[in-house]
Structure formats: C-alpha cells, structure tokens
Amino acid sequence: MQHRPIRILVDCHVFDGTFQGTTTYLKGLYQELIKDADMQFFLVANDTDKLQKVFGTYDNVTYLAYRSGNKFIRLLFDLPKLIRKYKIDYAHFQYVAPPIKQCKHIVTLHDVLFLDFPHYFPLGYRLKNRFLFGTSARHADVVLTVSNYSKQRIQKHFGISEITITPNAVDPVFFEAYDKKAVQELVEKRFGAKDYWLFVSRWEPRKNHDLLLRVFVEKGFYNNYELVFIGDPAIPNKTYEAYYHGLDALIKQKIKMLNKVNFDDLLLLVRGATLSVYPSVAEGFGIPPLEALAANVPAICSNATAMSDFDFMSDWLFDPSDPEDLAQKAHLALQAKDAADKREKIARRFSWTVAAQAFNNAIGR
C-alpha cells in the first residue's frame, strides 16, 4: 500500500499584512520544508496571489483562500472546514489555534513577553492572550518557539514541558553581495535618506525608540547622520512622542519614519544603512540585528532577554537602560565599518535548515 504524504495546513493570514517577525518565521521555515516531496502543504490566506509570490509554485503546495478577513470567522468556521475538506494531518498556527480540533495542532508561541513585562501591554491584551495563548498551547500536539529564552518563559507561565525550539534564521538574500554605493544612491533617491542609522521594529514602548532618539540627539550624532525608523504602529510610545515634538525643526529633518515597507524595500534600506541599532527591552528573539550583520552592516543590539544569546556580538551589545552604553557601542561599531567577522557565525547558527530539522523531529519525521 502506497504511503500517503503528511498533509500540513499552515495559517498564513499574517502575510495579508506587512512583513513582521511571524511572516519572516513562516517564510523561512516553510521555504525549507516544502523541499520535502513526501509532505503536502496547504497554505491559507486571503491574498493567495501574494502568498504564491512569496513561496513559489511547487507540486506539493496548494494555496487556499479564506472566505473572510475576520479572525473569528477564520478560526471558528473557515479553518475547520478546510481541515476536514483536505483531510489535514497537522495544522500550524501562530499563537492562537481554533477552539475545536479537527486534526493535530502545531502552535508556535514566539514569546510571552506580556506576562513578564506587563507594564508594556494593555490590560485587555494581557487578559485575552493569557487565556488564548495558554489554551492553544496546552491543547496543541506540538508546541514550538524560537529561542531558549522564550522556551523557559513559556514553560514557567503555562506549565508545558515539551517545547521544541525552531530558531529564527536570516534569509539567505541578506548574505548576497551588493554594491554599497549604488544601494546608498538608490535609497537617497527613493527615500531621501543618507548616512543613516536604522531601527527596524513596530512601534511599542518596549521597543525603546525613545532611548535611541535621545542618544541620537543628545550625543550629537544628528550632526553627521540621519535616523530612519521602519515599522508599523502598534502601541503608542508617549515618551517618544513628547520628546520628538519638542525637538528643533532642523533635527526633525534628520529623522524619518517609514511604515508599510515591503520586503524588497526593507532589504534595500538595511543594505544602505551606516549602522543598525536594536535597543529593545524585551524580545522573544530579535532578528533585525542579525539581518543587518548578514548584510555586512555594523549593528549594535540590546543585551536583554533573548538577545543575550547573541554572544558572538558581545562587543556590540549594550544595556537598553543605559544611554551612555548605547552611545559607546555606537562609536565602536561605526569605527569598525563592517561586520564580516560576525557573518559566518550567524550563517552557521541561525539557519532555516536547522529549524526545519527541529520541526520534523517534533512531528516524528
């Protein structure tokens, strides 16, 4: 009797928005997994054309469309119907799974930061997601996360012993060679940015945009550089807003805020940067500094939570509560000019091949 390939449905609704951590994770992991012809994948989103552009055309990949963009309809009706129709063996969700199981569930919890740093998150968010994340993970057949830090915190808060780490990795395109001068000229033409520092992250208080802005201004870096923020709004940072609005108009001209940035433009802006800065107080992983280093752009990074695992860049790690430390590490990285010595370590440790192997082990392949 011929063996039927394992059928895996992947909830890809996050691809209907702009790129963020979960889209990077799913893109990298499944681009690696779909190389296995003995597995059949069903990728589901509202915009299937966009999804197909991301993953490509393969005999073992089927693209399916949700009937609705409403998350409750998706979880309660669309997903169960698709799971039954296509005889799915495993369904993979980010954070929240449907309340009724029609097959085995795989749930990735990237972090539970709202439980460890409650002051950064609204009360309603904390109450809702403590229930939804906890219930989804406890009922799952396989629980995944992206770092040892997140694994330990999930185990503590939800009492789940079996958790597999499928680490985030850097897209291979960031390692590709490019003409720095040509990229910088294109960035200046398209975005009006030149000799700039870059911070890639959505806007939340825990991301620490305000510390970076204060150091950039008060240490006089604005005299020689510009500062570019890339990220969509999430939770308002009133400290940042108050400080920014009090700045002189000439300094404000050195600060650019971009959102709804697609992947190609993100890659261009990363490559064109003089320095990448990642001052976040709390993360479940923290991919942007690794992407910058892979692109041979000097990057300084917070040493808090999951980023403390980035021991290979210890000379460029800083205390996210200490503006003097951030400024000192920025000076060091700017003098270094490139990040060639750190690229090999990133390629070896943060590979989607490693993540895919861990995934397969978790489902017993």
Domain boundaries along the sequence of the chain: 6-169+351-362, 172-349
Cβ-count burial of 345 within 10 angstroms (0-12 exposed, 13-18 middle, 19+ buried)?
Answer: middle
Quote the mean pLDDT of the chain: 95
pLDDT of residue 324: 98
Bridge pairing between strands 255-258 and 142-145? unpaired
Q: Which two tokens stand for residue 202?
A: 């959505």
Give the pTM.
0.86
Class assignment of domain 172-349? alpha beta
pLDDT band at 1 (very low <50, low <70, confident <90, very high): very low
Residue 102 neighbours by CB under 8 Å, 6+ apart: 79, 80, 83, 84, 88, 91
pLDDT of residue 315: 92
Q: Check whether 338 has a pLDDT greater than 80.
A: no
Bridge pairing between strands 104-108 and 142-145? parallel
> Residue 267 and residue 273: Cα distance in Å, rounded?
10
Q: Check whether 21 has a pLDDT greater than 90.
A: no
Q: Is 325 helix (H, G, I), strand (E, B) or coil?
A: helix
Q: Check whether 314 has a pLDDT greater than 90.
A: no
Interval 112-149: pLDDT, tens: 999 999 999 999 999 999 999 999 999 999 999 999 99
> Residue 294 and residue 312: Cα distance in Å, rounded?
13
pLDDT of residue 20: 72
Interval 37-91: pLDDT, tens: 999 999 999 999 999 999 999 999 999 999 988 999 999 999 999 999 999 999 9
> Residue 296 and residue 241: Cα distance in Å, rounded?
32
Q: Check whether 252 has a pLDDT greater than 90.
A: yes
Q: Do domains 6-169+351-362 and 172-349 have the same CATH topology?
A: yes
> Residue 255 and residue 199: Cα distance in Å, rounded?
11
> Residue 161 and residue 34: Cα distance in Å, rounded?
28
Percent of the chain with pLDDT over 90: 89
CATH superfamily of 6-169+351-362: Glycogen Phosphorylase B; (3.40.50.2000)
pLDDT of residue 3: 72
Q: Check whether 17 has a pLDDT greater than 90.
A: no
Using only C-alpha atoms, the chain has a radius of gyration, in whole angstroms, of: 21
Query: Phi and psi for 143 in degrees, rounded to 5?
Result: -115, 130
Q: How many CA atoms lie within 13 A of 144 on its CB side?
A: 26
Give the number of other Cβ atoms within 10 Å of residue 304's Cβ. Answer: 22
> Residue 217 and residue 235: Cα distance in Å, rounded?
23
What number is the average pLDDT over the span 323-336?
96
What number is the average pLDDT over the span 336-364?
90
Q: What is the DSSP letter of 158?
A: H
Higher per-residue pLDDT: 347 or 154: 154
Contact between residue 118 and residue 130 where contact means Cβ atoms under 8 Å apart: no
What number is the average pLDDT over the span 183-204?
97
Interval 295-308: pLDDT, tens: 999 999 999 999 99
pLDDT of residue 280: 98
Q: Check whether 343 has a pLDDT greater than 50.
A: yes
Q: Check whether 348 has a pLDDT greater than 90.
A: no
Which residue, chain included where needed, has tokens 């300084």? 300
Contact between residue 92 and residue 8 where contact means Cβ atoms under 8 Å apart: yes
pLDDT band at 364 (very low <50, low <70, confident <90, very high): very high
